[in-house]
Structure 1
Amino acid sequence: MKSLAISTLTICGIDELVLQSTRKVTHVLSVLDPDLPEIEAFGTYGEHSRVTLRFHDIIDPATGKIVPQAAHVADILRFGESLKQSASGRVEGHLLVHCHMGISRSTAAMLSLLAQVNPDESEDGLFERLRAVRPQAWPNSLMIGFADEQLGRQGRLVAALRRHYGHQIKADPKFVDWMEHLGRRRELEMAA
């Protein structure tokens, strides 16, 4: 993300936020459940810009839950555009994207930002970069589908997501039980 003057990328969960406070984070994208209270850890951070989005980490509609929408991904991409527009005012930056566990919504958001900034990079290359930042990445498939469409990737991001899921299952078979438990069987079936 050098074109955005962002030299450091971090993805984490809420319980890891306190560990990031000494790392000079300049920009934060928080993706949280709608009913979660404000996170106190940010009070220990230095000056930074933060955007918060609120929806649940689900892929199918559920009573009382807010499923990720195309508008949420559009908000993520607007955040990416704001980073680009503010790049001339900084030498370097540290972007932290987090959700509850740092595995699904946050990794989908980061992949969307990487794809936005690097329109000519291969989709598989983008997922390799994502795994380098967060090895346990399991991006929310609904969010990746919206990003694919909004970025004009013509299904290539979704196809690469299938390969990514297959890679992750081979690297750590516990994903199968975990995603089954979370009701994400459809994503397991996507794995190539």
Structure 2
Amino acid sequence: MKPLSISTLTICGIDELPAQSSRTVTHVLSILDPNWPELEAFHAYGTHHRTTLNFHDIIDADEGKILPQPDHVSEILKFGKSLAESKVEGAEGHLLIHCHMGISRSTAAMLSLLAQTYPHDSEDRLFERLRQIRPQAWPNSLMIQYADDLLGRKGKLVDELRRHYTWQIKREPNYLEWMARIGRSREIEMAI
């Protein structure tokens, strides 16, 4: 696959969207809870292409919630393929991926796109790039598992995710409490 025709990569949460409006964003991937209202922040953006996916930030089935599915990650990868195919020589773009907090679903989506775009890069290099883009990244493990399968990475993305979680807990010990509180203890166990 050709590299993305994107020179700037941004991950953020909903509260950070207004601050991005002056940065000439060309492509947006929004990952929101189902039935979330339209985000007014995008009215201040210039012309851009936006794709929205709707599912919850969970890793285990929960009644009344939509669990991330392989089809969701497949849609993210289709989005990336479309970006690569639309590359215009010399054009610069700005891809913004956001979810509610800019920590889990959006970082999993960005890592999936990086792994797709740079298939020969090592997994540790991909996570290093992700941390450069969004230092507080805690990618949704279920989404990473699906990306690993879809991209034929043979478990290497999931293995590196474990190391990333360990790194993140050392950097910010509060992740232990935060992830346990929202039902993501299994991810903490992956790190430990």
TM-score tier after normalising by the smaller chain length: over 0.9
Partner of 2:76: 76
Deviates more, 1:3-12 or 1:152-161: 3-12
Partner of 1:154: 154
* Aligned partners of 2:3 and 2:118 also within 8 Å: no
2:187 matches 1:187: yes
Once residues 168 and 152 of structure 2 are traced to their aligned partners in structure 1, the CA distance between those partners, rounded to angstroms, is 25
> How big is each residue's C-alpha offset from its partner over 1:1-21, in whole Å with a ceiling of 9 and x where there is no partner?
x92220000000000000000
Partner of 1:23: 23
* RMSD value, Cα: 1.3
Once residues 90 and 52 of structure 1 are traced to their aligned partners in structure 2, the CA distance between those partners, rounded to angstroms, is 27
Question: Partner amino acid for 2:40?
Answer: E
Question: Partner amino acid for 1:71?
Answer: D
Question: What TM-score, normalized by structure 2, do the two folds share?
Answer: 0.98
Question: Partner amino acid for 1:187?
Answer: E
Once residues 180 and 16 of structure 2 are traced to their aligned partners in structure 1, the CA distance between those partners, rounded to angstroms, is 25
Give aligned-pair identity as a percent: 67
Aligned length: 192
- 1:175 and 1:5, CA in 2 relative to 1: closer, same or farther beyond 3 A? same
Q: What residue ranges of structure 1 are gaps of 5+ in the alignment?
A: none
Partner of 2:50: 50
2:160 matches 1:177: no
Question: In the TM superposition, what is the alpha-carbon distance from 1:90 to its structure 2 partner?
Answer: 5.8
Question: In the TM superposition, what is the alpha-carbon distance from 1:169 to its structure 2 partner?
Answer: 0.2
1:30 match: secondary structure: strand
Point out 4+ residue stretches in structure 1 off by more than 4 angstroms. none
> How big is each residue's C-alpha offset from its partner over 1:103-134, in whole Å with a ceiling of 9 and x where there is no partner?
00000000000000000000011001000000
1:34 match: secondary structure: coil
Question: In the TM superposition, what is the alpha-carbon distance from 1:88 to its structure 2 partner?
Answer: 2.2
Question: In the TM superposition, what is the alpha-carbon distance from 1:159 to its structure 2 partner?
Answer: 0.2
Once residues 128 and 40 of structure 2 are traced to their aligned partners in structure 1, the CA distance between those partners, rounded to angstroms, is 32
Once residues 17 and 117 of structure 1 are traced to their aligned partners in structure 2, the CA distance between those partners, rounded to angstroms, is 25
* Aligned partners of 2:127 and 2:164 also within 8 Å: yes
Question: In the TM superposition, what is the alpha-carbon distance from 1:89 to its structure 2 partner?
Answer: 6.0
Partner of 2:124: 124
1:88 match: secondary structure: coil
Partner of 1:109: 109
